[in-house]
Amino acid sequence: MRTHRIAGAAVAAALLAGTALAPSALAAPPAATATAQSAVPFTSAGAVRAADGGHTLSWASPAASVAVTAVTSPDATTGVALGTAPGTGSLAVPAGTLPEAGRWYFRLVPDGGTPLVVADRSMGLTSARNFRDIGGYRTTDGHWVRSGLVYRSNKLNSLTDAEQQRLVSQRLTLDVDLRNAQERHDDPDRLPAGVRYQVADVVSLSHGIRFHDSALMTLAEAIAAGLFSGSSDLGQSIGYPFMVNFVGADYAFHDLVTAVATNNSGATVFHCSAGKDRTGWGTAVLLTLLGVPRATVEADFLASNQYTGDPEAVELSWLRAAFAEADQIYGDFDTYVREGLKLDAATVATLRAKLLTG
């Protein structure tokens, strides 16, 4: 694998514009990991919060029955009993059923097997609409990503006192900022006291302007692919492959994954400005490492169109271009993780042990 030093200002500008604006051995946990327990008997499950505060829960499993309890912490085992329903079924929780809380989780307890905790992914923050949980997804081998431990978001410069208190109630202890120096200066995060702040600048030049493969070739191919796909934003079509090709980005995403894996004091949030591009690729890396199917990873990526209120916030071709760049440079995603991000097996195992259940 070649590493090129590029001095051309045009290439650096393209990189900065593209990122600053706006299943294999590593991708699926092996059976021998610490997370391999008896499989959770749920093939699907989820919770959706309505505008009036009510919730609709649904699930599918081979169990005969499922008991549902509302809890205010993903680790709680007791709370408000909501009833029992068939092993594959649904349950409506009308507005007013539950008192006000920072966030409600729902513990699904089958008559045989391990319980599963689900929640609406959105934290409902007006000042950070794209603040949402990356948990609640099922992996290819039947595990589930734990809820309430890792969040993705847009910038956090306008959090109100009430919103900050809501994050405190969810035991948020670490904020990883993927933005560049200018963005951090213009819109500094407003965080609750006690939340540790860490920078993982995706476009930092502190490691030089270096690329794993020909930057000019990547630029040309990205433009061609963007034009062919009908991309609405060629800057983003260029930026996504460069998040894989640019050496500086490797350091940022290495630090992000390591921070998530090793934060043992509470929940972590990571974000950029809009919470959709740098954050989108970071989330895709994390979920793929956990063994979440590519189709689910893509659906989570596209959900930014819903949460931001902009139906054209992201395009699937952008995310696919980043995955394709990883395949082109490294041969597969696992090698990208190992040789590009320099993540060792111990860190990946720690991440899975922490975030997977079932």
pLDDT score, position 75: 95
The reply to whether 202 and 317 lie within a common domain is: yes
Q: Which residue has the tokens 């900050």?
A: 164
- The CATH number of the domain holding residue 67 is 2.60.40
Cα separation, 81 vs 68, in Å, equals: 6
Same domain, 243 and 316: yes
Whether residue 31 is found in the same domain as residue 73: no
- Could you read off the pLDDT of 60-112 as tens digits, one per residue? 999 999 999 999 999 999 999 999 999 999 999 999 999 999 999 999 999 98
Same structural domain, 252 and 190: yes
Q: What whole-number distance in Å separates Cα of residue 87 and Cα of residue 61?
A: 5
pLDDT of residue 40: 58
Unique residue bearing structure tokens 């749920």: 42
> Same domain, yes or no, for 225 and 236?
yes
Q: Is 273 left (phi over 0), alpha (psi -120 to 50) or beta?
A: alpha
- For 116, phi then psi, to 5°, come to -130, 135
The secondary structure of 228-294 as a DSSP string is HHT-S-HHHHHHHHHHHHBHHHHHHHHHHHHHHHH--SSEEEEE-SSSSSHHHHHHHHHHHHTT--H
CB 251 within 8 A of CB 257: no
What is the pLDDT, as a whole number, of residue 39?
52
From the list 88, 135, 129, the residue with the least C-alpha distance to 108 is 88
Phi, psi (5° rounding) for residue 179? Answer: -80, 165
| Residue that has been written with the tokens 């899975």 in this structure | 352
Q: What is the CATH number of the domain that holds 209?
A: 3.90.190.10
Q: What b-and-e string marks burial along 70-97, b requiring 16 or more CB atoms within 10 Å of the CB?
A: bbbbbeeeebbebeebebebebebeeee
Judgement on whether residues 15 and 53 belong to the same structural domain of the protein: no
Place of tokens 């490797």: 250
How many whole angstroms separate alpha carbon 147 and alpha carbon 255?
Answer: 21
**Best CA proximity match to 217, nearest among 249, 241, 247, 236:** 241
Contacts of 297 (CB under 8 A, 6+ apart): 283, 284, 287, 288, 319
Rounded CA separation 67/83 (Å): 6
Q: Residue 214's pLDDT is what? A: 74
Give CA–CA dist 209/206, Å, rounded: 8
Measured distance CA(284)–CA(294) in Å, rounded: 9
- Using DSSP, state whether 190 is helix, strand or coil: coil
220/319 same-domain check: yes
Residue 211, φ and ψ in degrees, nearest 5: -135, 155
Residue 350's pLDDT is 98
pLDDT in tens, the chain (358 residues): 433 333 333 333 333 333 333 334 454 444 333 333 445 589 999 999 999 999 999 999 999 999 999 999 999 999 999 999 999 999 999 999 999 999 999 999 999 889 999 999 999 999 999 999 999 999 999 999 999 999 999 999 999 999 999 999 999 999 999 999 999 999 999 999 999 999 999 999 999 999 888 777 777 776 777 677 777 766 687 889 999 999 999 999 999 999 999 999 999 999 999 999 999 999 999 999 999 999 999 999 999 999 999 999 999 999 999 999 999 999 999 999 999 999 999 999 999 999 999 7
Domain stops at, among 94, 113, 132: 113
Let me know whether 24 and 89 are in one domain.
no
Instruction: Encode pLDDT of 26-62 as tens digits.
Output: 544 443 333 334 455 899 999 999 999 999 999 999 9
Same domain, 167 and 85: no
- Cβ-in-10-Å burial (0-12, 13-18, 19+) of 185 comes to exposed
Spatial distance between the Cα atoms of 118 and 144, rounded to a whole number of angstroms: 10
Q: How many distinct structural domains can be found in the chain?
A: 2
Which phi and psi angles does 286 have, rounded to 5°? -60, -50
The C-alpha atoms of residue 41 and residue 44 are separated, in whole angstroms, by 9
275 in the same domain as 184: yes
293 and 188 both lie in a single domain? yes
Question: Which of 66, 89, 113 lies at the terminal end of a domain, its last residue?
Answer: 113
The answer on 129 and 103 residing in a single domain is no
Domain that holds residue 33: 4-40+121-357
Domain-ending residue, one of 113, 142, 171: 113
